[in-house]
Amino acid sequence: MQQRLYLIRHGQTEWSLNGRHTGSSDIPLTTQGEDQARRLGEQLCLVRFAHVFTSPLRRARETCELAGLVASAQVDADLREWDYGEQEGLTSREIHAVRPAWNLFRDGGSGGESPTQVAGRADRVIERLRRLEGNIAIFSHGHFGRVLGVRWIGWSVQQAQHLLLDTASISTLGLDDKHANTPVLAVWNYTNDALRAEP
């Protein structure tokens, strides 16, 4: 069976709503985030998953549970969010007020994880997943998910700055069997709102 990874970012939290960098802080979903997770379940129930993995952080586990996939889920510590160190809880504006040229994907978190360390985690996840068959659901986070996406297709961590990953989004990673099983991002950052017309 052709392998397809469904990368699901957790639903909205208070900090994601306010643009605060949320690494190891175990922030729960908002009421809207819970609703988003249930809507994800309505989409994901159409897919038969051979494997389900989730970050150990509460917001990802809650999303997995409300989406109806927690019963078969395995917790994978490598799926946790980037450790931002001193930037934890701060918005980009607050960080840039002190470090105007700061770029997470190039500089990492001060006292937290470097881009090389996060890439190493993503590469470990990919190595394990490539040994599996069938559809795989992965409940994870915004910045780590972006790194996982670029590492899947062999790009550098810094290229992840060009990919957005909204809360409660679904992305699919797979292989193009028509081109020597080349890794591809088949769908990226799909949300229920993606096809809504602009006001």
Name the catalytic one among 62, 81, 88, 113: 81
Amino acid in position 118: V
On whether 82 is known to bind a ligand per the annotation, the reply is yes
52 contacts 79 by C-beta, under 8 angstroms: no
Nearest 5°: phi and psi at 91? -85, 165
How far apart, in whole angstroms, are the C-alpha atoms of residue 178 and residue 168? 30
On whether 166 is known to bind a ligand per the annotation, the reply is no
26 contacts 198 by C-beta, under 8 angstroms: no
How far apart, in whole angstroms, are the C-alpha atoms of residue 68 and residue 55? 16
On whether 155 is known to bind a ligand per the annotation, the reply is no
On whether 62 is known to bind a ligand per the annotation, the reply is no
On whether 34 is known to bind a ligand per the annotation, the reply is no
On whether 4 is known to bind a ligand per the annotation, the reply is no
Q: Is 77 helix (H, G, I), strand (E, B) or coil?
A: helix
**Side-chain half-sphere CA neighbours of 54 within 13 A:** 20
How far apart, in whole angstroms, are the C-alpha atoms of residue 16 and residue 11? 9
Active site residue 10: yes
CA nearest neighbour of 142 among 47, 36, 40, 15: 15
Name the catalytic one among 10, 21, 141, 143: 10
Active site residue 81: yes
On whether 121 is known to bind a ligand per the annotation, the reply is no
Please count the other Cβ atoms lying within 10 Å of the Cβ belonging to residue 51.
17
Just list the catalytic residues. 10, 81
- Residue numbers in the known binding site for substrate are 22-23, 59, 81-84
State the binding site. 22-23, 59, 81-84
